[in-house]
Amino acid sequence: MKRKILIIDDEPFLLKVLLVRLKHWGYDALGAENGPDGLVLIRQNMPDLIILDKEMPGMNGEDVVRLIRRDPALKQIPIIMISADVENIEACTKSCGIEHYLTKPCEPEDLLEMIQMQFLREKNTEIS
């Protein structure tokens, strides 16, 4: 069964490019252009991984993470945060409890490697 990845990013072009890449890499990919729509898709689809933009109008990535982590049904979903805010992304992810992040623009290969590492880590945890 294909792994399901949800991307939440307010940049339509980037969202489209990432969706195409993820599908090309063999993942089932979904996308939302804002936090509220992303939360609806999370609850409807229970993705295996979320790729989340830090900076979005209205509900930003940090707000989305807080809502996900408060929900017992969602809190275990791993999140990779992406942001052009190079100076603050590391501090933001630490305060949100997110282990992985990438800065924009990121190389597609770096994103694929991070996704694969996350799924490999989960598989190893399941075996232990």
The residue with tokens 């305060």 is 95
Encoding tokens for residue 10?
A: 């307010």
Higher pLDDT, 51 or 91: 51
* Run of H or E including 35: helix 35-45
Q: What pLDDT score does 5 carry? A: 97
The Cα 121–Cα 83 span in angstroms is 23
Query: For 4-127, which CATH superfamily applies?
Result: Response regulator (3.40.50.2300)
- Cα Rg of the chain, angstroms: 13
Q: Is 52 helix (H, G, I), strand (E, B) or coil?
A: strand
More confident site: 25 or 118 = 25
C-beta of residue 7 within 8 angstroms of C-beta of residue 30: yes
Across the chain, mean pLDDT equals 87
CA–CA distance, 125 with 127 (Å, rounded to integer): 5
Whether residue 9 is predicted with pLDDT greater than 90 in this model: the reply is yes
pTM metric for this prediction = 0.89
β-bridge mates for residue 5, sequence order: 29, 49
Q: Report pLDDT for 43.
A: 96
Reported confidence tier of residue 100, pLDDT bands at 50, 70, 90: confident
Which long-range contacts link 107-113 to residues 24+ away (Cβ below 8 Å)?
A: 108/21, 111/18, 111/21, 111/51, 111/80, 112/21, 112/25
Query: Average pLDDT for residues 27-36, to the nearest whole number?
Result: 96
pLDDT confidence band for 39 (50 / 70 / 90): very high
Q: Is the pLDDT of residue 71 over 80?
A: yes
